Structure formats: structure tokens, C-alpha cells
Amino acid sequence: MRPNALLLTPLLVLALAGCATAGGERIATYQPPAGSTEVLRGEIAAAPGHQLVVGDLVGGPGMVIPRHYHHGEEFIYVVGGSATLSRPGMPDLVLGPGEGFRVPPGVVHWGHAGAEGVRAVTSWVVPDGMPLRVAVPE
């Protein structure tokens, strides 16, 4: 580690600890409604003709995610709870806290939240002029 990093590490730990509590009280955090809430959308300078969309996914126990696909990649990162991701002809994938997965463009997928629900950060690379998701009948 460089000398500056050694000095900054304890300060960073203290700063993060301060974010978690204030005088023994937990600091309130944003609690979005159930479902997928879009929190950010913007052009990608390094990939002209594409946008990045970021979502906050909150689902109660067993919440169903219907069959669909995307024209660009989807990235899923589970923060809490768990979710099962299904794809045709492939084994189900159960994602828990701290786990993520990339869904390639055009891959039909669906899923459901685990018994304790799910909280995840989702992001999509969306080609300009294309919808975020395309529903696929059961």
C-alpha cells in the first residue's frame, strides 16, 4: 500500500462507520416502493447510441418477475434476500446477497424473489430507440 493510502484507510473506515450510525441511531436510508424503480438514466459516452439505466428492485417474498428479454445487457446485483433467475434450457440460478449476474442481450428470463424477498441493484445497457424490456408470453 502507498503511504497516502495507509493514512486514508482509517479515515475511510471512520467515515463509513459514521454513515451507519449517528449518536447510536441508524441513519434513515431510501426505501423505494415494491417493484423496479428507475433511479438513473443517461447516455454512455464510451458507447454512442446506448443508454445506461439503473434500477432499484424491491420484492416481497415470492414476488414474480414475468418472462421478458432486453435488447442490451442486464446486470443484477443482489443486496439483500435472494432471487431465482430462470432461463429456457438452463438450470435455475439462485442469487443471494453480494452475488451478481449478467444476462446477455436477447436472452429470455424470468424469476421470483426468495422466501425473505429481494433487494437488488439492476442496470441495463439500452440501445437508443429500443424499449427497456420486452414481455414474452408464457
Query: DSSP string spanning 30-52?
Result: --PPSEEEEEEEEE-TTSTTEEE
pLDDT category, 23, cuts 50, 70, 90? low
For residues 88 and 138, the answer to whether their CB atoms sit within 8 Å is no
For residues 71 and 47, the answer to whether their CB atoms sit within 8 Å is no
**How many C-beta atoms lie closer than 10 Å to residue 41's C-beta?**
13
Please state, in angstroms and as integers, the Cα–Cα distance from residue 1 to each residue in 12, 16, 29, 39, 72, following that order: 15, 20, 33, 35, 38
pLDDT category, 44, cuts 50, 70, 90? very high
In angstroms, the CA 24 to CA 33 distance is 27
Average pLDDT estimate for 35-55: 95
Could you tell me which residues come within 8 angstroms of residue 93 by beta carbon, excluding any fewer than 6 positions away? 84, 85, 86, 87, 101
pTM for the model: 0.76
> Which amino acid, one-letter code, is at 54?
V
Record the cell numbers describing residue 3, joined without a space.
Answer: 503511504
- Percent of the chain exceeding pLDDT 70 equals 83
Question: When comparing pLDDT for 130 and 16, which is higher?
Answer: 130
Question: When comparing pLDDT for 23 and 64, which is higher?
Answer: 64
Domains of the chain: 30-135 (2.60.120.10)
pLDDT tens track for 83-136: 999 999 999 999 999 999 999 999 999 999 999 999 999 999 999 999 999 999
